[in-house]
Amino acid sequence: MPKLAAFPKAFMHALCKDGSMKLATWIELASQLDIEGLEWYAGFLEMQDTHNWKLFRKMVEDKGKVIPMMCCSPDFTHPSKTFRQKEIDKQKYWIDMTHTLGGSCCRVLSGQRRPELTIQEGVKLAADCIQSCLPYAEERNITLILENHYKDDFWEYPEFAQKMDVFTQLVDSIDHPNFGVNYDPSNAFLAGEDPLELLKKVSQRVVTMHASDRYLKFGTIEDLRNEEDGALGYAKRLSHGEIGKGLNDYDAIFTELKRVGFDSWISIEDGVEGMDQLERSVAFLRNKLAQYWPG
């Protein structure tokens, strides 16, 4: 049966920007959930001190949990080779971080969808950068997972490989045992596309999954498309919702994942309205996992 982890979506600013929440507090909150793991984020303020890495691993493991996945956001589509090399170096640093924390999967992204980039250029830049990180990851038994992403919280432009055709082109260009997909069904909606269509194209390559649900507070997906470029962070009309109550068809998703033998980590991106909401999302997913992976 797949295993559940949680990501502190509601506390990102507190943990990454103003320091108003400490990781020990998040660990304490998350350890009370019916989950096996905590997905980590490379940008947590307290992770800047490398001496903390082993301490947080022990703190999590003392609660009977593990840190299976690292969430980070390399920007591999910058036109400057010097900039891209710095991003490669950062990715290797995050691979080391994942390894020290006891994790097995470390996210990669393509980079920002800069207006001057052609698809061919962007795919090549991103693929070359990811491939240059793979030997380093393999030595540490880490799998690099490419997410069909919408937009990093702290980026100006959306994900270069946001659209299905670009994402699949990038995935297909990298063939390595330590490379796979982190599938996020909600992000496909934000690209104006069908998450099930995307899943069927990449399901054999899915290593991990982000479980979330999304809804638009007002307007349409087309409105979102028209306003997303050039604005920092997420569009204001976009909201995370309780899992099972948004746009995603989790029965169809789990049917396909079960068909291809998926048996790995599902990390929950939820709880923006509090821990009670996150608990309900965990319960929803627990019931679905028992339904599709019985026994």
Q: What are the pLDDT digits (tens) for 199-218? A: 999 999 999 999 988 777 77
**How confident is residue 190, by pLDDT bands cut at 50, 70 and 90?**
confident
Q: What confidence tier does 228 reach under pLDDT thresholds 50, 70, 90?
A: low
113-139 average pLDDT score: 97
Return the pLDDT at 54. 98
Q: Is the pTM of this model over 0.85?
A: yes
Q: What pLDDT score was predicted for residue 151? A: 84
The pLDDT assigned to 216 comes to 73
Output the pLDDT for position 233: 53
For the beta carbon of residue 249, count every other beta carbon within 10 angstroms. Answer: 12
Strands 265-269 and 3-7: parallel
pLDDT grade for 267, boundaries at 50, 70 and 90: very high
Which positions ≥6 away from 294 have C-beta within 8 Å?
Answer: none
Most confident of 45-59, 191-205, 267-281: 45-59
pLDDT, mean of residues 252-263: 98
Mean pLDDT along residues 172-192 = 93
Site of tokens 């490419």: 146
| Interval 163-181: pLDDT, tens | 999 999 999 999 999 999 9
Q: Is residue 231 predicted with pLDDT exceeding 60?
A: no
Q: Are 246 and 184 in contact (CB under 8 A)?
A: no
pLDDT of 271 reads: 79
Sequence-distant (≥ 6) Cβ neighbours of residue 208 within 8 angstroms: 68, 69, 105, 145, 180, 182, 183, 264, 265, 266, 267
Q: What is the pLDDT of residues 36-95, one digit of tens each?
A: 999 999 999 999 999 999 999 999 999 999 999 999 999 999 999 999 999 999 999 999
Reply yes or no on whether the pLDDT at 234 is more than 60: no
Mapping DSSP onto H, E and C, the string for 82-115 reads HHHHHHHHHHHHHHHHHHHHCCCEEEECCCECCC
pLDDT for 225: 62
Q: Which residues contact 191 (CB under 8 A, 6 or more apart)?
A: 148, 150, 162, 163, 164
More confident call, 134 vs 9: 134
pLDDT at 187 over 80: yes
Grouping H, G, I as helix, E, B as strand and the rest as coil, residue 175 is coil
Q: What is the structure's pLDDT at 174?
A: 98
Specify which of 27-36, 222-231, 244-253, 264-273 reaches the highest per-range mean pLDDT: 27-36
User: Span 137-162, mean pLDDT?
Assistant: 93
Q: Give the percent of the chain with pLDDT over 90.
A: 80
- The tokens 């020290």 sit on which residue? 100
Closest CA to 122 of 131, 132, 112: 112
Among 125-139, 141-155, 254-268, the range scoring the smallest mean pLDDT is: 141-155
Q: Residue 239 and residue 280: Cα distance in Å, rounded? A: 17
C-beta of residue 107 within 8 angstroms of C-beta of residue 70? yes
- In 226-280, at which residue ranges do the beta strands (DSSP E only) sit? 238-241, 265-269
